[in-house]
Amino acid sequence: MKRLFKRKNKSGKSNKQSIIVDVLISLGWAFLVGLPLFVVHMVLFDFEHSQHMEESYSFIQSITSSVPHHPISLILWLSAIFIATFAIRRTFKQKLILAQIQAKLTLSQTQALTDGLTGIWNRTGFDKLFEMNIKRGQEQNRNFSIILGDVDGLKDYNDTYGHPAADEALKVVTKIIAEQCRVLDGLARYGGDEFAIFCIDIDQNGAEMLIERLCEGLKKSPVSMSFGAATYPIDGDDRDTLLEKADIRLYAAKSKALSHNEVIEDCECEVCKPKRPL
């Protein structure tokens, strides 16, 4: 409660200081800009009046008499300049504060949907992407495929080489998968050693071809992966059914997979290089 009170107190003081600064700056604008403009206005007014009345006109006299002879007009003029300047500054500051808050919210939302280790979507982000695209697929009658991938033997790799090496291996895997995917594909770290790819406008054959490319690319990785895919609407027309089908095929492939989690002789990744015998 004390900390909250202190924060509110600091925020109140800061707001008061900001208002005082805006008042002083607005007063400065009123006198430094508004006063000369008022004199110019009155000089022009006197000149036009003298021309209309066919009277003699004195520029010096018009300047010296513009302020003393029109005090009420001057006060109204300066007040209008002050109010306009103050309102503009406060409005601009409010918009700036709102923009900063929006930027922070956007950043926090992005961080909440992003995996901290690999920088790709996390499970929450992938689920939101899934919901958005499955609606689009259903409304526009478009095919899409879900590919689930699981790193083979990551626990053994972690036990053998350590947690930092396992994290680095996941980064290598992420980089390889991202290189094989299209820009519009959604790549996510779905769990500790699980990955998911949402492929819009990709049918069953396209998903199988992508899996082949992924397996080929991952030969340069320190760990292998198994994949399973499901395609809308052939394998299902809702999220749970599609994920279940992809998961079944993933573990069918995983049961047949032979892990190659030893150091690869020709691999130049940051994980394998430090472990290669000298």
Helix axis angle for 239-256 and 123-140, nearest 10°, is: 120
Other C-beta atoms lying within 10 Å of the C-beta of residue 253 = 20
CATH fold of 123-275: Alpha-Beta Plaits (3.30.70)
The residue with tokens 């206005």 is 41
pLDDT tens, the chain, 278 aa long? 545 445 545 555 667 787 888 888 888 888 888 778 777 777 777 677 677 676 676 667 666 666 666 777 778 888 888 888 888 888 887 787 777 766 665 556 666 788 889 989 899 888 888 888 888 777 788 889 999 999 988 888 998 999 999 999 999 999 999 999 998 898 999 988 999 999 988 999 999 999 999 999 998 888 999 999 999 989 988 889 999 999 999 988 888 765 444 444 444 444 444 444 43
DSSP bridge pairs for 144: 200, 232
pTM over 0.75: no
Q: What are phi and psi of 222, to 5 degrees?
A: -75, -10
pLDDT at 194: 94
Burial of residue 242 (number of CB atoms within 10 Å: 0-12, 13-18, 19+):
buried
Contact, 121 vs 197, CB < 8 A?
no
Spans of all domains in the chain:
2-112, 123-275
